[in-house]
Structure 1
Amino acid sequence: MDRPRSQARALTAYSSNLCAAIPALLLGDCKTPVRTEQAPPTLTGHAGGGTIICAMSALRFLLRYARKYTGALAVAVASMVFLVAVQLVGPWIVREIIVVVTGPGAGQATLDRITQLALLALGVYLLRAGFTFLRSYMSHIAGWGVVSDARQEIYDHLQRLSLRFYENTQTGQLMSRMVNDSEMFERLIAHALPDTLVNVLLLAGVCAVLATLNEQLLLLSLAPVPLIVLGMRGFAKYVRPAFRQRQQELSELSATLNDNLSGIREIKAFVQEEAEAARIGDHIRRFLLSNLKALRMMAVFHPFVEFAASLGRVIIIYFGARLVVGPAGLPVEDLVAFFLYLDLFYRPV
C-alpha cells in the first residue's frame, strides 16, 4: 500500500480510538489505557505500532483542534472568573442587610443603605446572567466547532481508505465513531472543562471567605469530606465503568441497526426478517439493561453525596448556634452568611 493510503488508515484508526477514549476521559479515568493498532502518523508519514494512548494524550490531541477557537475559549474563561466573583458577592449582600436591619435606629440613612444594597443585588444578578450567557455560548462555539472540524477530518480520511478496509469494518461502527463518539468532544470542551474550572475557583474563593468569617466553623464544615471522598472512590469503581459499558452497547446497537437498514434488500431476499429482528431486539435489551444499571448507580451516588454534605450543615447548625449564644459571641449575620457560603462550598461536590 502506498504511503498516503497507509497514513490515512493510521490517522483514521487513531481518531476512532480517540473518540472511544472520550467517555472515559470525561469521567476522569486517566489511568485507563486505550489501545490502538497504530499510532497517529507523524509529519513524515511514518506510523508507529503498539502505542498505548492514555486519556491525557487524548486530551492533548483534542486541544490541538481547540487552538482554532482560542478567542472564544478566552472569553469563556474570563466569564468564568467573573462569574465566580459575582457569586461570592451575593451572600455578603445578605449579611450586610442583616447588619443594617438589626442595628440601632432606623433613620433615613438606614433606608438609603437598604436601597443601595437592593440595587447592588440587582446589578449582581444581572451580571451573573450576562456572564453565564457568555460562558455557555462561547464554550459551545468552541465545543461544536471542534466537533465539526474533527468530523470533517475523519470523513476526509475515510474517503481515502481502500475498499478492503470497508470489507472488514462495519459501516455502523464508522458512523457511530464519527457521529456519536465525536459528540463527546463538545461535552468535554463546553461542559466538563468549564465546570471543573468554575468549581475549582469557587471552592478556593469560598474557603477564603469562610476563613475570614470563622476558622472554627470552616474546620467543622470539613468533617464530611472523608465520606465524600469515599463516595468519589465508589463512583470511580462502579459508576464510571457502567457508563462506559452503556456507551459501548449504544455503539453496537447503532452499528447493527445501520448495517441492517443498509442491507434490507438482502434480508428480505433471504427471508431473514425474524432473525434480524431478534438480533436487533437483543441489542436493544442489552442497551436498556446497561443504561438502567448506570442510572441506578448514579441514583445511589448522588443521594449519598448530598447526605454527606447535609451532615456538614447539621454540624454547622449545632456548633454555629452554640457560638452565637456562647461566650464567643459570633454575630448572627456571620452565621447566616456562613450558611449561604456553605451551599456554595458543597456545590462543586
Structure 2
Amino acid sequence: MSRKTKKFLSYYKPYLGLFLSDMFCALVAASITLLYPLIVRYITNDLLRNYEISQAMNTIIKLGLLMLGLAILEMLCNFFIAYKGHMMGANIEFDMRNDIFEHYQKLSFNFYDNQKTGQLMARITHDLFDITELCHHGPEDIVISIIKFVGAFIILININLPLTLIVFTFLPIMFAFAFFMKNKMNRAFRKNRERIAEINAQIEDNLSGIRVVKSFANENQELDKFHAGNKRFVESKRNSYWQMATFHSGLGVFTNLISVAVIIGGSLLIADGAIAVSDLLTFLLYINNIIEPVRKLINFTEQFQNGITGFDRFMEIMDINPDIVDKKNAVDLKNVKGEIEFKNVSFKYNETTTDVFRNINLKVEAGEYIALVGSSGVGKTTMCSLIPRFYEVSSGTITLDGMDIRDIKLKSLRKNIGIVQQDVYLFTGTVMENIRYGKLDATEEEIIQAAMNANAHDFIMELPDGYDTYIGQRGVKLSGGQKQRLSIARVFLKNPPILIFDEATSALDNESEKVVQESLERLAKNRTTFVIAHRLSTIRNAKDIIVLTEGGIAERGNHKELLEQKGLYANLYTLTQASQ
C-alpha cells in the first residue's frame, strides 16, 4: 500500500463507526433491490400458475405488505446513506482542510516567495470539494456494485445459464472500455483544476490591486486577461466533457446491446421451451441490477478522478517539508537581554546560486540602536529577516544572548522579536482586534495603553466607533500614518526585547513621519533595535550605522564619522539630500 493511500485511508479512522454503519445500510439497500425481481418471478411463475385466484390474492397481499416494508427499510437506509454518509465525507474534507491550512502556517518565506495566493487558495477550497463525494460515495458505490453484481449473477445463473452467459459476455468489454477511458479522464480533470487555480490566482491578483487597476484605467486590460484565462478553462472543460460524453454514450450502447441480446436470446429459448416467459421477464428486470453497478463504477471512476486529482494536489503541498523547523532539543527563551551577533553569515535564496550578501560579522549589544543602510537589493531586509528565522542562513551563525538561534524554538524566538514594516498588514476587523493581535489575551486597558504609547489613541477616539470601528480589508479606511501607528501599538502590546523597523516611515508624508518616528523612538527605548533606513535623515542620531553591500559590511560608525570618511554612506546621504 502506497504512502498516499495510507494517508487517504487515515482520514476515515475518526469516523470508523459511522463508516461501517454507512456500509451496512448500503449492503441492506442493495440486497433489498435484488429481492423485488425474485418476488415478481414467484408471483408469475408459482402463485398465478398453481393456485386459484382467491388463494393467490391472499399471498399477493402479504407479499405486497412485505415489499412495502422492504421499501420503507430501503428508504431509511438510503436516507442514512445520503445524510450521515455525506456528513462523514464533509467531516473528512474538514479535517483535510485543517491539515493543509496548518501546514501552510509551517512553511517558510522561501515557499511563499514562489507561490501565487490564488493558487494556494484553490488547493484549500476548490481542490477539496470533491473529496466529500469520493470519501462517501466511493466505498459505498463499490459495496453496492459488488452486492448487486454478484447477487444478480448467482440468481440469474440459477434461472438459466445460457442466457446469463449472453448477458455477462458484454461486461468484460464494458470494463475494458472504462479502463481505457480512465487515464484520459484523469488528465482532463487535472487540467480543469490547474486552470481554475489559475483563474483564482488571477482574480486574487486583480482584486488585491483594484486601486492600481482603476488608477491606470486598465479595466479593459484586466478583462482581456481574465477572458483569456476563462477561455482556457472552458477549453479544458470541453475536453473533459468530450471524455465524459464518450464514456456515458458508450455505456448506453452496451446497455441497449445487453437488452437486445436478452430479448432475442430469451425469445429463442422460449420458442425452444428452455425457459418460461416469466423467466425472461425476471432477466429483463435484473438487467437494471447488472447495469446499475457498472454505471455506479463509472460514476465512481468520475468521482475518483475528480477527488483523487484534488487529493494529489493536496498531497503535493503536504509533501513539502518546512525548511525551517525546530531542532529536536530546541529550548524556550528565558530572561532575554537582546544581544545579537552575526558570525560569518552568508545568505542566498534556494533557487539562486549568487549570494545576496556574505561574510557578515556584526555584534549588537543588548539595548543598542543600530541602523542598516545601503543601495536597494543589497539584502538589508533579508539580513534582518534571518534573525527571526523567516529565512535560514546559508552559512555562518546568528546568536541571541550567546545562543545559536537554531537551538531556540521558533515560537519562542519570534515571540521576543517585534517587527514594524513599511507595508503594514492589518486584518479585516476592528481597531481593537488588530491591536490585540500583538497579545491575544490582552485586556482592554492594556490595548488602550499600547495605543497611547504609539500616538494612536487620539485618532482612534475620533473614529465613528472608537476602538470598535471596522477598518476594512487591510485597513483600507485608514491613512498610511494611522495604519502604521496601529502596527506600532500592536508591537507595544507584544512588548518584545528586540525590534526590527523595516523602512517604517519611508512611505509617509513629513507630518505623519514625525508622529510615527516619535512613536518608534518611544518603542525602541531600552530595546535592541535594528532600523532599515531609506531616509538617512531619520537615523542621524543612531549610535551605530552599518553600510551594507553585496560583499558584506563596507562601513560602520555614527553619522558624523561616516560623513567624514567620504565613502559610500556620504554618497548615499548626498543623494538622499538632493532628492528631498
Per the TM superposition, whether the score is higher than 0.5 is yes
Q: CA deviation at 1:67?
A: 0.6
Q: Is the 8 A contact 2:97 2:124 kept in 1?
A: yes
Q: Is the 8 A contact 2:31 2:147 kept in 1?
A: no
Quote the Cα distance in structure 1 between the aligned partners of 2:171 and 2:15: 37
Say whether 1:189 aligns with 2:135: yes
Match among 273, 278, 293 for residue 333 of structure 1: 278
Match among 108, 111, 114 for residue 165 of structure 1: 111
Say whether 1:288 aligns with 2:246: no
* Amino acid aligned to 2:137: H
Say whether 1:180 aligns with 2:94: no
Secondary structure class of the residue paired with 1:224: helix
Q: CA deviation at 1:270?
A: 4.3
**1:257-276 alignment to 2 at 5 Å?**
257-276=203-222
Cα 1:115/1:281, change in 2 over 3 Å: same
Q: Is the 8 A contact 1:176 1:254 kept in 2?
A: yes
**Which of 1 and 2 has greater Rg?**
2
Higher helix share: 1
Corresponding residue for residue 343 of structure 1: 288
Quote the Cα distance in structure 1 between the aligned partners of 2:226 and 2:255: 44
Quote the Cα distance in structure 2 between the aligned partners of 1:262 and 1:192: 39
Corresponding residue for residue 148 of structure 2: 202
Offset from partner CA, 1:3-23 (integer Å, 9 cap, x none): xxxxxxxxxxxxxxxxxxxxx
Say whether 1:299 aligns with 2:234: no
Secondary structure class of the residue paired with 2:66: helix
* Amino acid aligned to 1:307: V
Cα 1:327/1:187, change in 2 over 3 Å: closer
Corresponding residue for residue 370 of structure 2: none
| Runs of 4+ deviating beyond 6 Å | none
Cα 1:57/1:194, change in 2 over 3 Å: farther
* Amino acid aligned to 1:68: P
Q: TM-score, normalised by structure 2?
A: 0.48
Q: TM-score, normalised by structure 1?
A: 0.78
Secondary structure class of the residue paired with 2:244: helix
Secondary structure class of the residue paired with 2:200: helix
Q: Is the 8 A contact 2:48 2:56 kept in 1?
A: no
Quote the Cα distance in structure 2 between the aligned partners of 1:111 and 1:161: 73
Corresponding residue for residue 35 of structure 1: none
Q: CA deviation at 1:81?
A: 1.1
Corresponding residue for residue 15 of structure 1: none
Corresponding residue for residue 89 of structure 2: 143
* Amino acid aligned to 1:317: I
Q: CA deviation at 1:297?
A: 2.4
**1:1-349 alignment to 2 at 5 Å?**
56-100=2-46, 102-104=48-50, 106-328=52-274, 330-349=275-294
Higher strand share: 2
Quote the Cα distance in structure 2 between the aligned partners of 1:298 and 1:106: 53
Secondary structure class of the residue paired with 1:307: helix
5+ long unaligned stretches in structure 2: 295-580
Sequence identity, in percent? Answer: 29
Aligned residues: 294
* Amino acid aligned to 1:321: S
Quote the Cα distance in structure 2 between the aligned partners of 1:249 and 1:266: 25
Q: CA deviation at 1:229?
A: 3.5
Q: CA deviation at 1:65?
A: 1.8
